[in-house]
Amino acid sequence: MRRIALAVVALVAALLLIAFPVWSAAWESSRYATTILRDMLVLAIFALSLDLLVGSSGLPSLGHAAFFGGGAYAAAIAMQRLATDDLLVGLVAAVLVAAVLALVIGIFAVRSAGIFFLMLTLAFAQLVFAVAFQWTDVTGGSNGFSGVHRPTFLGMDFNGAEALYELVATIFVLVVLFLWRIRSSTYGRALVGLRENERRMRALGYNTTRLKLSAFILAGATAGIGGALSAYALRFVSSNDVSVGRSIEAFVSVLVGGSGTLLGPAVGAVVVLYIERVLPSTLQELTGRQFAEAILGVVFIVFVLAVRQGIVGLARLAYVRARR
Amino acid sequence: MIDIRDLRREFGGIKALAGVTLSVAEGERRAIIGPNGAGKTTLFNILTGELEPTGGTVRLGGVDVTGARPHQLARRGLARMYQRNELFDPLPARDNVSLALCARRGPYRPFTSPPKSERAEADALLERVGLAERAAVPARELSHGERRQLELALALAQRPTVLLLDEPTAGMSPAETSRIAALIDRLERALTIVIVEHDMDVVFRLAERITVLHEGRVIAEGTPQQVRGDTQVNEVYLGKVVA
Amino acid sequence: MSGDVAIQQALNGISFGALLFILAAGLSLIFGMMDVVNLAHGAFYMLGAYVTLFLVQRTGQFYPALVVAPLVVGLLGLVIEPLLLRRLRGRHLDQVLLTIGVSLVVADLIGLTFGREIRSIPLPSGLDRSVTVAGSDYPVYRLFVIAFGIAMAAVLAVVHRRTQLGALIRAGVDDAQMLDALGVDIDRLFATTFAVGAALAGLAGVIAAPVFGIFPGMDTEALINSLIVVVVGGLGTLSGAVAGAGLVGPAYTFGTVLVPQFALALIFAIMAFVLLLRPTGLLGRVRIAR
């Protein structure tokens, strides 16, 4: 009974999320809210994919933007070169490029652990950044790659703001389902084992190197989907999408929302984008200055210091306490 | 079953193992004893593939496995109980065992849920080591003795042909010690067991043959009676313990 | 490339290497003692450069910055360690994450205070000339950077060999109980280490300011550069920082001349190659799990 109730609640929540532009249409700020929410969901997909490494497997990657940005460039460039608007072409290109990048970087990175893993992923992602920044003929270099086509799929046109939002929200729901399925699978459990005790996992007969590499590729490919959606949403890709800053955005989202919780990173993404996109105009009005990044930094420090389990982790703890 | 030839391992010039040759027959229960620093744990670490030897060979069931990785050896039927517990601390005891069962069954797929039978299988193993009541308790909340029992359950869940026990009674009370010794004693006879242990009562109770290591070399080998009577062994080791 | 140009480029490479060394030495020092990779290192470097900008604008003098900027940045480190890092002692990864937050705050506050444009300062008086090297003019300032780097290496080597701090670093002592047993005040030791490491980053910022420019984003660049140096050279040892900087500095400079499009890629290729052969870097003492 409880499982059915839970499934119904989840389904209703998903439908409400996807239909946001419809039921918010009467609001004065509906269009603005839809745009912000769309970008929050893109960041959420990116953060969720990172949490497969940080939360599920205990692999603190600080270079995840390589796959997000790689996917964004791949979708934009493939659709332009092949002169097509087909959504599938963009998504497949994004997933393929992100997965190959993850394979190559992963081969080096998964041999290490902890702080070294963090350093190596950061450094290698910066290589991808350097390529994106310097390979002007293909990526547009420092000018970025503008004029990305909005996609079509099976006769549906996602050119309009509402349609595109609904596409992003639908894919977000699918990604959540995908990750939820992985977490409860034998594979997902093996990742948890990896996080908790790699030595024991090896002794039990798990090929931990291959396990880590596969998680790295899976997370990278999912981040690539997020990147492709970002390219569609903004109609623009730039080296920012591959930068350390973008990696940090995702990492902060994961930790603030709660790593290792299914939806925590999505909650974190909402907080992070609120600070980055909504707060600056408020600050500007109040103080005439902008220092949103500093506020983001302070929030992050507070969560690392005092609320390491994140918002969702904290809520879960409170729920368990209340039931006792 | 295990065939070790001239195994050597150096750490920056210090010889932890200085040419160990050792054979354990299938189904045999062998104890390896010796003072601290004799090379027992180094030997285990090489046997399980966590350490590469500087020289020499290791054969397992007739196959040369020198330098094989830990997971490859585990899949060849080698399981280990660590001296210091290596558990999945936040996970319940049952999930600890499930992870071990899953490794054997393989392959682990992103869209396959664990089979329903796994829970029953895990519970059966927990019952076997005396943890039936504690299945839902996170490993970190178990007592030290219980954690050692869980450690054994993990090794058994691998359905090993060779079981390496690294000081199974380390840090245990006398009651816990006799319980885990009884547990080991009752294991199937087909299982080859190598045990490193400081508690001589446990060693003489469990082992059919004993190998004595000293400064990285084998200084004696034989039945418990033979080893007990060996003067050199008494000098370097037993003399201090049994008196 | 002619012989003369090659000599000039070699000097450029060595001077860049000297700067990288000062930068990486601070990062490596903190790691060697505390097992923390300080990801705010780039922001500390940036702060050093902006303090220099401030002093040059106010006083017209460059040289005081060589003392003042490291002091300011060092003091900041002296505040941050007890205030933030100490609360997470023993949780190394969380400490590293904390430094990400610190770097966001420091870099943004610098932008808030000094504006977000690219700035520059003139070469300091006395070092703004050129001398003839291998038949053509070569800026004296770059020679100064080389000399300064070598001097710093000498000073740090003495500290490393002759002081208690150096002895502790060489022993690789980072266990609180062990330090207690040795009668070391661990709080003071860690705060000092973090402050000195931060001050080195600030000093590198001063040295870099007249030639490499002062701009938002310089923090990330410096952080990545110093990470590459310590990954290549080996983390936690002084000789590792020397080796890494000595390899990466010239390699980057020659890469920029010979294969401009792929200069950065070349550096990463070197890094990948070193990692394949020696996962702990050329002279690293830290073991990484197999």
Note the pLDDT tens digit of each residue in C147-174.
999 999 999 988 888 887 777 776 655 5
Burial class (CB in 10 A: 0-12, 13-18, 19+), C174: buried
Q: List all residues 6 or more positions away from C235 whose beta carbon is below 8 Å from its beta carbon.
A: C28, C31, C32, C37, C280, C281, C284, C286
Q: What is the pLDDT of residues B53-98, one digit of tens each?
A: 999 999 998 899 998 999 999 999 999 999 889 999 999 999 999 9
CB within 8 Å: A251 and C104: no
- C29: tokens are 């020092």
Interface test with C, best of A118, A211, A304 (most C CBs within 10 A): A304
- CB–CB contact A199 B86 (8 Å): yes
Confidence of residue B243 (pLDDT cuts 50, 70, 90): very low
Give the whole-angstrom CA distance, residue B169 versus residue B35: 16
Mean pLDDT to the nearest integer, B20-45: 90
Q: Which of C274, C227, C280, C243 is nearest to C26 (CA)?
A: C227
pLDDT in tens, B184-205: 999 988 999 999 998 888 898 8
Measure CB to CB from residue A300 to each of C100, C224, C268 and give the nearest one: C100
pLDDT value of position C55: 95
The one-letter amino acid at A194:
L
How confident is the model at residue B103, as a pLDDT? Answer: 85
* DSSP designation for B92: B
Place of tokens 């936040």: B90
Lowest mean per-residue pLDDT among A71-80, A210-219, A303-312, C264-273: C264-273
Task: Determine contact: A196 vs chain B, CB below 8 A.
Answer: yes
**Amino acid at position B74, single letter:** A
Of A185, A203, A218, the CB nearest to B80: A203
The confidence score (pLDDT) of residue C175 equals: 62
Note whether B117 contacts A: Cβ–Cβ < 8 A: no
Name the helix (H) or strand (E) containing C62: none
Contact A146, A235 (CB under 8 A): yes
What would the mean pLDDT of A7-12 be, rounded to a whole number?
Answer: 93
> Is the pLDDT reported for residue C24 higher than 50?
yes
pLDDT given for residue A100 in this prediction? 97
B79 touches chain A (CB under 8 A): yes
CB distance A103 to A213 below 8 Å: yes
Nearest residue of chain A to residue B112 (CA atoms): A185
Chain C residues close to A116, C-beta within 8 Å: 286, 288
Interface of C to A at Cβ within 8 Å reads: 35-37, 84, 87-88, 92-94, 96-98, 100-105, 107-109, 111-112, 220, 223-224, 227-228, 231, 261-262, 264-265, 268, 271-272, 275-276, 279, 286, 288-289
What average pLDDT does this structure show over C66-94?
93
Structure tokens at C38: 């300080």
Query: What is the end-to-end Cα distance of chain B in Å, rounded?
Result: 34
The pLDDT assigned to C171 comes to 66
pLDDT digits 0-9 by tens, C201-214: 999 999 999 998 89
For the segment B105-129, the average pLDDT, to the nearest whole number, is 84
Q: Which residue of C has its CA nearest to A104?
A: C272
What SS3 class is residue A36?
Answer: helix
ipTM score assigned to the predicted complex? 0.89
Across the beta sheet with B29-33, what order do the strands follow?
Answer: B78-81, B162-166, B192-196, B29-33, B209-214, B217-222
Q: Classify residue A144 as left (phi > 0), alpha (psi -120 to 50) or beta.
A: left
pLDDT in tens, B134-186: 999 999 999 998 999 999 999 999 999 999 999 998 888 888 898 889 999 99
Instruction: Say whether A197 and B103 touch across the interface (CB within 8 A).
Output: no
Residues in chain A: 324
Q: What is the pLDDT of residue A3?
A: 87
pLDDT for the residue numbered C146:
95
Which pLDDT band holds residue C289 (cuts at 50, 70, 90)? Answer: very low
CA atoms within 13 A on the CB side of C228: 30
* pLDDT at residue C173 in the model: 56
Whether pLDDT at B236 is above 80: no
In the structure, what pLDDT confidence band is assigned to residue A104 with cuts at 50, 70 and 90? very high
Chain A CB contacts of C107 under 8 Å are: 293
Based on its alpha-carbon atoms, the radius of gyration of chain B, rounded to whole angstroms, reads 18
Neighbours of C, requiring at least 3 CB pairs below 8 Å, are: A
Taking the C-alpha atoms of residue A101 and residue A91, their distance in angstroms, rounded to an integer, is 15
Average pLDDT over residues A278-307: 90
Among B32, B45, B10, CA closest to A199: B45
Distance from CA of B82 to the nearest CA of A (A): 9
All residues of chain A having their beta carbon less than 8 Å from the beta carbon of residue C87 are 305
A315 or A140, greater pLDDT: A315
CB contact under 8 A, A201 and B106: no
Q: What is the pLDDT of residue B216?
A: 87
Give residue B240's pLDDT band: very low, low, confident or very high (50, 70, 90). Answer: low
Tell if the CB–CB gap between C96 and A289 is shorter than 8 Å: no
Nearest CA in chain A to C85: A305
Q: Which of A186, A199, A202 comes nearest B114 by C-beta? A: A186
Please choose, from the candidates C246, C200, C202, C152, the residue with its C-alpha nearest in 3D space to the C-alpha of residue C33: C200
Res. C188 pLDDT band, cuts 50 70 90: confident
pLDDT over threshold 50, residue C290: no
Work out the pLDDT band at B34, boundaries 50, 70, 90.
confident
> Which of A185, A186, A196 minimises the CB distance to B89?
A196
**Residue of C126, C76, C127, C128 whose CA lies nearest to C102:** C76
- Cβ atoms within 10 Å, residue A131: 21
Average of per-residue pLDDT values in chain A: 91
Mutation pick from A177, A191, A202 vs chain B, by most beta carbons of B within 10 Å, is A202
Give the pLDDT band (50/70/90) at residue C49: very high
CB contact under 8 Å between A108 and C275, yes or no, is yes
Spatial neighbors of B36 by CB under 8 A, at least 6 apart, are none
Residue B138 gets which letter from DSSP?
B
Write down the pLDDT at residue A220. 97
For chains A and B, CB pairs below 8 A equal 88
Dump pLDDT digits (tens) for A177-206: 999 999 889 899 999 999 999 999 999 999
d(CA A123, CA A128): 9
Averaged pLDDT, A293-321: 93
Question: Residue C98 is nearest to which of A60, A126, A301, comparing CB atoms?
Answer: A301
DSSP state of B84: S
Chains touching B (at least 3 CB pairs under 8 A) are A
- Write the CB contacts of A279 (distance below 8 Å, at least 6 apart in sequence): A292, A295
Q: Check residue B234 and report its DSSP letter.
A: I
Please report, rounded to a whole number, the percentage of residues in chain C having pLDDT higher than 70: 94
Give me the pLDDT at residue C172, please: 59
Against chain A, the chains showing at least 3 CB pairs within 8 Å are: B, C
User: Cα separation of B233 and B228, whole Å?
Assistant: 8
Across the range A113-129, mean pLDDT stands at 87
Site of tokens 């990779």: C37
Contact A208 B108 (CB under 8 A): no
Of A64-73, C100-109, C273-282, least confident by mean pLDDT is C273-282
Q: Which residues of C touch A291 (CB under 8 A)?
A: 108-109, 112
Q: Return the structure tokens found at A104.
A: 């190559």
Closest partner CB to A108 (pick from C92, C261, C272): C272
pTM to 2 decimal places: 0.90
